[in-house]
Amino acid sequence: MNDIMTVQDGMMVSLAYTLHVDGVLVDESEQDEPLEFIQGQGDIISGLEQALYGMQVGQRREVHVAPEDGYGEVDEQAMMYVPLAMFPPNFPLQPGLELSIRDRENNILPARIVQVEEERALLDLNHPLAGKTLDFSVQIVALRPASDAERLQG
């Protein structure tokens, strides 16, 4: 009987990682503060989650995630013009600025200013990493079955 635990659905995974996009480091976890999630619940992007199956504690892997398995392709429909009058006075309207907006249902959405014109600003509601290939370097730091309470909390 094999007693070695591997990453599988229902396991609490502690993952140390670095994420590079176009050769630039954009995110990382510290070895002593790994990302923790329950495998198989869709808590992380699908391309990374799929690549972790079968890994063991201490194992390292390079994972390349295509846009369709990461944050999706850039959706041109997720661009919108907003009148400048909708922004607070003295708001620093500059291309590249990231902000949060509320939709009609009062959901908070991340957005980025793409362009500022005389009377309106063009906002991009795509995830900042949409359309990008994600290059992860990962290591399984710890692995254990998730408790019932953890599974309920998600």
| Within-domain flag for 85 | yes
Please give the pLDDT value at position 60: 97
Please give the pLDDT value at position 31: 65
Our count of domains for the chain comes to 2
Please give the pLDDT value at position 85: 92
Distance CA 3, CA 44 (A): 26
Task: Tell me: do 88 and 136 sit in the same domain.
Answer: no
pLDDT averaged per 10 residues, the chain (length 154): 82 96 93 90 95 97 97 93 92 92 87 94 94 97 90 75
Task: Tell me: do 65 and 139 sit in the same domain.
Answer: yes
Please give the pLDDT value at position 2: 55
Task: Tell me: do 31 and 64 sit in the same domain.
Answer: yes
CB 47 within 8 A of CB 130: no
> CA separation (Å) from 111 to 52, 89, 104, 119, 125?
30, 19, 15, 18, 5
Please give the pLDDT value at position 119: 94
| Within-domain flag for 59 | yes
CATH of the domain at 40: 3.10.50.40
| Within-domain flag for 1 | no
Distance CA 88, CA 92 (A): 9
| Within-domain flag for 139 | yes
Task: Tell me: do 82 and 60 sit in the same domain.
Answer: no
| Within-domain flag for 2 | no
Please give the pLDDT value at position 23: 96
| Within-domain flag for 6 | no
Task: Tell me: do 109 and 64 sit in the same domain.
Answer: no
Task: Tell me: do 66 and 16 sit in the same domain.
Answer: yes
CATH of the domain at 80: 2.40.10.330
Task: Tell me: do 15 and 56 sit in the same domain.
Answer: yes
For the question of whether the overall pTM of this predicted structure is more than 0.95, the answer is no
Please give the pLDDT value at position 84: 93
Parent domain of 81: 76-124
Task: Tell me: do 116 and 103 sit in the same domain.
Answer: yes
